[in-house]
Amino acid sequence: MPVIFHEKTKEFHLCNGEISYIFGILANGQPGHIYYGKRLTDREDFGYMTEYAMRDMAPCAFEGNTSFSLEHLKQEYPAYGSGDMRFPAFELEYENGSRTVDFQYKEHAIYKGKKGLEGLPAVYVENEEEAETLELTLEDPLTGVQMILFYTIFEEYPVITRSTCFCCKKERVTLLNAMSGCLDLPDKDYEMVELAGAWSRERHVKVRGLEYGIQSIYSLRGCSSHQFNPFLALKRTNTDEHSGEVIGAGLVYSGDFLAQAEVDNFDVTRLIMGIHPNEFRWEMEAGEKFQTPEMVLVYSENGLNGMSQVFHRLYRTRLARGKWRDRERPILINNWEATYFDFHEEKLLKLAEKAREIGVELFVLDDGWFGKRNDATSSLGDWRVNEEKLPGGLKRLAEKINALGLDFGLWIEPEMVNKDSDLYRAHPDWVFADIRRNYCHSRNQYVLDFSKKEVVDYIHGQIRKILKEAPIAYIKWDMNRSFSEVFSNGMDRAHQGKARHQYILGVYDLYERLLREFPDILFESCASGGARFDPGMLYYAPQAWTSDDTDAVERIKIQYGTSYVYPLSSMGSHVSASPNHQIFRDTPIYTRANVAYFGTFGYELDLTEAAEEELRIMRQQTEFMKKHRKLIQKGIFYRLKSPFEHNSSAWMVVSEDRREALFAYFRVLQPPQAGFERIRLSGLNAEWKYRVKEETGESGYEGEHYGDELMYAGLSLSDQSSGLVKIAGDHQGDYMSRLLSLSAII
């Protein structure tokens, strides 16, 4: 049984073959945390692991008992006050202004399977045997307010999911803070791993040691943001990619979030994660509920790769959903960097013809097809085809693209509006800002107020009409600016504290409606590149545009960091022009492809201006991707060498049966008189022999080696080496890469 309850000791033990999560009911009726980590043998009483202490100045709950203080006890979902002075998991206010709470255990339910969260994305199960769920109900006896703590443990994953539901029973109550979950750990001997950055350098890996006080990441931008991702990991100082203990935490949410580790002055670490409390104020009347987003906890004793592989498999198969979850993704051409706004039907068809010649399967029309959109200053919100550019509309263009043998895809940005638009002129009050005041623009656009149902309904009607009129197989859903002055015009004071969260619920609602009506469409999310690359989005769109930065060298870091949490099947990755349009770097075409293969793959350049030799190479690239994309998108990914620490880096993907693998090596700058370099592979069968083949260029190394050689002796990648694998002479210099395929000989 994955969830065990010991009646006598009132302890709960959530366990599977890999992990244990243990807590019990404390003397004051609150749930107290006992243990989370590697699987422990079950016993009736783990109470000896609960640590009590008598310390000066500590507020104590019971008269005469100087050792029971919430300031020092580990808890499951703590409140501020009542003895605990650390950052709380929740805070609420009653009608009389009191914020004092006393939630005590009332009852619990244990059942097979896992329920969905109304209006919110969440990890799911396909049959009840995959997981077991505990619902722990706590109640404040004075006010009758209840909270339900949800815990789900999976049978085959070292995963615990957490969320919380607040239920107002009698009087009005206002939530001021509602985290999704809390984890109190017994020491501070961890390093905090986060994914930080900015536009065009998203999800760079940052590591820092924990110290007294709060170390946090967050977003107040209305989206999960370029700056931080709703993920953090706590790893032991000796943990690396391949070994050691690590706890990963992810939030299945796409809006403002807070994730933090607080270390108290007795070295206890408190990890919390949830909706950011800034500008959050959720008033509930009697009978109303509030559900937090879901927090996903992953435990690994096999290093950071072990943690990532769990996230990958869980998110790819039990968060992503629908027709495209398990299907190989089409190779696409996007016209943006080829034409920008300057296009017409004939120009697009010429690009599509070249794309067909090199083996592309999907043509995507990006920004500029609607309203009077010839630059970024107008027409967002007016989702009507510009027939001056596209006579006959999208239907005619899409049918001509289909006649070439390609599917047709389309870019939209439904959450935004320009002032120069019919929508804004008709409804200036639909802008998500106080229109009585000056308010900021970004990229000449403004955020629509998706906290209002009528706004979502209107946009839904426009997008639905477009999707019904033309054969559209793919949608790229963009979102190109952050929130600034958040205000919902015409709504009352109570609504303003809910507006930020309700905006995201509105986005989820629009996605859900369109997915229900158009289940065959492949949705790719985008937010000025990677500003909303989060688990919440993966529930609706199984892939995301990883970054607007298409430079291969920068993408090595971006995709390496993204892989800490997200599967390769979720990463939109394209071969773009050289010099690159963002970085202006000249990069060999084989390196651009070798990076882009490890994602969904496509092209983002003007094929009509490419030389015949380039087109021939691209034809080889699409053939290679079609042959290997099942392995890439469903295999087990290993990070082997970090681009954040070295001039060179490496990664590989291995099939689940270990019969096939792809290995990629990247070196940014050519070193003079470099030393020897060896990289050990991972995930192979040590006893099997593998055929190792150079896939970079016309001719390269081909040989046979046992798995133990490749994993324990490693590949020699030094210039002019006479070692295991020789460098091909034409693949040296700056921005060099290597790609090797491995196939088992059995």
Catalytic center residues: 478, 548
Task: Give which of 610, 621, 527 is closest to 574, Cα–Cα.
Answer: 621
Strands 602-604 and 689-694: unpaired
Nearest CA to 509 out of 536, 488, 534, 535 is that of 536
Burial (CB count within 10 angstroms: exposed 0-12, middle 13-18, buried 19+), residue 358: buried
CA dist., res. 181 & res. 595, Å (int): 36
Compute the distance between CA of residue 628 and CA of residue 624 in angstroms, rounded to an integer.
6
Instruction: List the structure tokens of 429.
Output: 């009050």
Q: Which of 224, 176, 185, 232 is nearest to 208 (CA)?
A: 232
Give the C-alpha separation, 394 to 463, whole Å: 13
d(CA 78, CA 71): 10
Length of the chain (residues): 746
Beta strand ranges found along 635-745 (DSSP E): 636-641, 648-654, 660-667, 678-679, 689-694, 702-706, 715-716, 736-745
Asked if 350 and 344 count as a contact pair (C-beta separation under 8 A), the reply is: no
CB count, 10 Å around CB of 266? 13
Please report, to the nearest 10 degrees, the dihedral formed by the alpha carbons of residues 261, 263, 267, 273 taken in order.
-30
DSSP strand E in 605-735: where?
636-641, 648-654, 660-667, 678-679, 689-694, 702-706, 715-716
Beta bridge partners of 20: 15, 37
Rounded Cα distance between 523 and 479, Å, is 14
What is the greatest pairwise CA distance in the chain?
87
Pairing between strand 19-25 and 31-38?
A: antiparallel
Q: How far is CA 318 from the centre of its chain?
A: 13
Contacts of 7 (CB under 8 A, 6+ apart): none
- State the Cα angle at 661 between 659 and 666, rounded to 5°: 165
Q: How far apart (Å, rounded) are the C-alpha atoms in residues 479 and 504?
A: 12
At a CB cut-off of 8 Å and minimum separation 6, what does 113 contact?
A: 125, 127, 128, 130, 131, 132, 133
User: Which amino acid belongs to residue 435?
Assistant: I
**Residue 223 buriedness (CB in 10 A; 0-12 / 13-18 / 19+):** buried
What would you report as the CA-atom Rg of the chain, rounded to the nearest whole angstrom?
27
Bridge-based pairing of strands 257-263 and 289-291 is unpaired
Task: Name the β-bridge partners of 672.
Answer: none
Reading the block at residue 40, the tokens are 């422990």
Which segments of 86-231 does DSSP mark as H helices, in order?
none
